[in-house]
Amino acid sequence: MLSTSRSRYRAGLVSMFCVAGLCCSGVLAQTMRDVEAVARERGLSTADLMAAAKTFVPSGEKDEYIMFASSGHAGHVFAIGLPSMRLLRSIAVFTPESWQGWGFGVGDDILAEGFPAGKPNLWGDTHHPALSETNGDYDGEWLFINDKVNGRVGVIDLRDWETKQILKNPLTLSNHGGTFVTPNTEYIIEGGHFALPWGIEHVPIDRYKEEYKGSVTLWKFDRRRGRIDKDQSFAIELPPYWQDLSDAGKGVSDGYFFMNSLNTELATGGTLEGKPPIEAGASRNATDFLHIINWKKAEEVYKAGKVKVIEGFPVITLETAVAENLLHITPEPRSPHGVDVAPKGDFIVVSGKLDPHVTIYSFEKIKRAIDNKTFSGADAFGVPILDFDSVVEARIEVGLGPLHTQFGPDGYAYTSLYLDSAVARWTLGGSYATGRREPSWTLVHKTPVQYNVGHIAVAEGDTVNPDGKYLVSLNKWSVDRFLPTGPLLPQNLQLIDISGSGTNMPVIYDMPMGVGEPHYAQIIKADKLKSWTVYPQVGWDPHTQNIHPMAPKRGNERIQRNDDGTVDVYMTVIRSHFKPDHITVKQGDRVRWHMTNLERAVDATHGFGVPMFNITASLEPGEYVMVEFTADTPGTFPFYCTEFCSALHLEMMGYLFVEPK
Ligand code: K7E
Ligand code: CUA
């Protein structure tokens, strides 16, 4: 037994090195012996060595892909390199983050834009990052992300990886169904989740059916300005089901989007009053409803002014949506979660958490049913129901707890199985079947993952042109996979090699994620990103992506006391000093502290930290930053550079003197 596995192991090693072109040299024998010794000592199998070879990125080499993963309750986005699974950085969005200086004097105004009813909310629950698309392919320019807890959407510029805008949805809280983009990023789709009265007014729960609302918001993205244009955006009222995830149509289904719902039973709980808990009430029916929304039609309706203004925001009412023929629903297996559109836009895959199948709808059939009005009735709100049998293409039993689906370039689809703790590979039919030996609409394989997978992400796997190669399984539980970390355990992000076919899809890397809980992620080919390495010019304001007129320049550093009692500090920053380095103000002064990092060298970032006043900033090369505060506490405060920027970094400081009144 041992000798068999040993010789198989040796054969594996030989073939590995043959590929590397080393097999004819005498070096090989020695190298193989060395590798074998290490492997034996560490108890590694050939599969382990192969996994290491597939994922190891040597020092100085770069990863092929970047995965942008939501961070869940950390309120950020993480960027992770693939295949190494190295965490490259986080991008602060809804939550203050001190390394980036986000929310400690910088970005405060952007965060404040998103405060619900103006109330400071300093955490977020990010779920679904969406890369901007051109013709259905990632273009590497923008990244959007939702905040489920307060119904907010963030916009990140991928030139400098900074958040530029946070928008609060005026109609609702909880937007689990966002963000998803249309194929040319015309709109960012922000779906809902829990039904709520408009504007979160107080309405007793017994008025649920009449006054609680579902909705979806279409935020118009202005690429030139790099901002969502609120004045060109609108929402569509939906029944008070709990709208879940959405996905935009593409190719043949461009112009539509699809959105799940749960709780079409309209369960409202009341456990203390002896009523069934919400989750029991909400899974009574065998089916819920897939929403099919014609957004191009909705855009026409909005532009024609057929909207009602609610909370200052234009809403296409449910009545109008039905009358204008832009909203249809069709049954879907109960308590669905993911809805995912195949690369050509022709199939829509829905997973019902409580149903072991994935259900595949045909867009062609949906279109025909809409045109021919093949309705099986209408729901309690008058929305026409497309007859299930006339729109379904296939159902495949994949396993327990199917959630989310992604696509490969080769006609394979992948579905996460939460309860099975596995990722299923199955085959698409139609034109995807050409040249593949497996039959269509068939489960091919299940790779176990550890454990309880939520989303999966395939490289460019939700575009019109999936790359395949890698799949990341974003597992909720890690249980026994890592060293103990107290009762709070990291999640486990597992990399799966999907470049093979059939049953060949091994797990090749485990990455503990000990910050927040990533939900969805998108994986983009790294060379599509055109990120800046330094800001284009000295004095650059990341907010306007232009030179700032107030940016301090070398030689005009000064402290200026204004007639209105405010003080402007103009300071330059360069290795390894601040100029000026003595700042004297009076107690109670309103201080605007302008700083320019004069550096042009890549990575020559300086930090700026002030004790007592809750201020920290990150000044990347060329960047202009302004922090504003009231010097309400008298005293002597050393401010200093917080990035270890040079050999004399520890000397890079200055004093802020606040003279008592
Ligand atoms: Cu399945 Cu919020 Cu997309 Cu988590 S969601 S897993
Ligand atoms: Cu600049 Cu440390």
- Residue 605 Cα to ligand 2 midpoint, Å, equals 7
Nearest CA to ligand 1 atom 5: 519
* CB 476 within 8 Å of CB 453: yes
- Residue 260 Cα to ligand 1 midpoint, Å, equals 13
In this predicted structure, the answer to whether residue 11 has a pLDDT above a threshold of 60 is no
Mean pLDDT over the full length of the chain: 95
In this predicted structure, the answer to whether residue 621 has a pLDDT above a threshold of 50 is yes
List the one residue out of 260, 148, 264 whose CA is nearest residue 209.
264
In this predicted structure, the answer to whether residue 22 has a pLDDT above a threshold of 90 is no
Ligand of minimum distance to the alpha carbon of 647: 2
Sign of CA dihedral 502, 503, 508, 514: positive
Token pair belonging to 570: 């103009």
- Cβ of 384 less than 6 Å from ligand 1: no
Token pair 């505060």 is at which residue? 629
Give the position, in ligand 2's atom list, of the atom nearest the Cα of 640: 2
In this predicted structure, the answer to whether residue 1 has a pLDDT above a threshold of 50 is no
What radius of gyration, in Å, describes the C-alpha atoms of the chain?
A: 28
- Cβ of 418 less than 6 Å from ligand 1: no
* CB 537 within 8 Å of CB 473: no
Nearest CA to ligand 1 atom 4: 519
Looking at residue 12, its pLDDT comes to 53
Give the position, in ligand 1's atom list, of the atom nearest the Cα of 245: 3
C-alpha 368: how far from chain center: 34
Looking at residue 13, its pLDDT comes to 53
- Residue 602 Cα to ligand 2 midpoint, Å, equals 14
Could you report the per-residue pLDDT of 96-115, keeping only the tens digit for each? 999 999 999 999 999 999 99
Give the position, in ligand 2's atom list, of the atom nearest the Cα of 605: 1
Beta bridge mates, 312:
none
Point out the least confidently predicted range of 27-41, 63-77, 154-168, 467-481. Answer: 27-41
Give the position, in ligand 1's atom list, of the atom nearest the Cα of 455: 6
pLDDT band at 21 (very low <50, low <70, confident <90, very high): low
Token pair 């997973």 is at which residue? 351
Ligand of minimum distance to the alpha carbon of 353: 1
pTM, two decimals, is 0.95
- Cβ of 519 less than 6 Å from ligand 1: yes
Give the position, in ligand 2's atom list, of the atom nearest the Cα of 649: 2
Could you report the per-residue pLDDT of 512-563, keeping only the tens digit for each? 999 999 999 999 999 999 999 999 999 999 999 999 999 999 999 999 999 9
Looking at residue 17, its pLDDT comes to 53
Phi-psi region of 77 (alpha: psi -120 to 50; beta: other; left: phi over 0): beta
Q: For residue 367, with 0-12 CB atoms within 10 Å meaning exposed, 13-18 middle and 19 or more buried, which class applies?
A: middle
Looking at residue 6, its pLDDT comes to 44
pLDDT band at 3 (very low <50, low <70, confident <90, very high): very low
Give the position, in ligand 2's atom list, of the atom nearest the Cα of 607: 1
- Residue 659 Cα to ligand 2 midpoint, Å, equals 27
Give the position, in ligand 1's atom list, of the atom nearest the Cα of 337: 1
* CB 612 within 8 Å of CB 635: yes
In this predicted structure, the answer to whether residue 43 has a pLDDT above a threshold of 60 is yes
- Residue 598 Cα to ligand 1 midpoint, Å, equals 43
The C-alpha atoms of residue 414 and residue 202 are separated, in whole angstroms, by 43
The C-alpha atoms of residue 438 and residue 440 are separated, in whole angstroms, by 7
Token pair 């199939």 is at which residue? 347
Q: Which of 70, 71, 127 to mutate to test the pocket of ligand 1 (most atoms within 8 A of CB)?
A: 127
Looking at residue 138, its pLDDT comes to 98
224-233, Cβ contacts within 8 angstroms, sequence gap of 24 or more: 226/142, 226/155, 226/157, 226/164, 226/545, 227/155, 227/164, 227/165, 228/153, 228/155, 228/165, 228/167, 228/188, 230/167, 233/187, 233/313, 233/314
List the one residue out of 279, 273, 276, 266 whose CA is nearest residue 211.
266
Instruction: Name the E strands within 172-312.
Output: 178-181, 187-190, 196-197, 212-222, 227-238, 242-248, 256-262, 287-294, 308-310
Could you report the per-residue pLDDT of 562-604, keeping only the tens digit for each? 999 899 999 999 999 999 999 999 999 999 999 999 999 999 9
Could you report the per-residue pLDDT of 204-222, keeping only the tens digit for each? 999 999 999 999 999 999 9
Taking residues 445-469, what's their average pLDDT? 98
Cis? peptide before 239, omega within 30° of 0: no
Residues having CB closer than 6 A to ligand 2 are 576, 606, 641, 643-645, 649, 652
- Cβ of 176 less than 6 Å from ligand 1: yes
Taking residues 473-482, what's their average pLDDT? 98
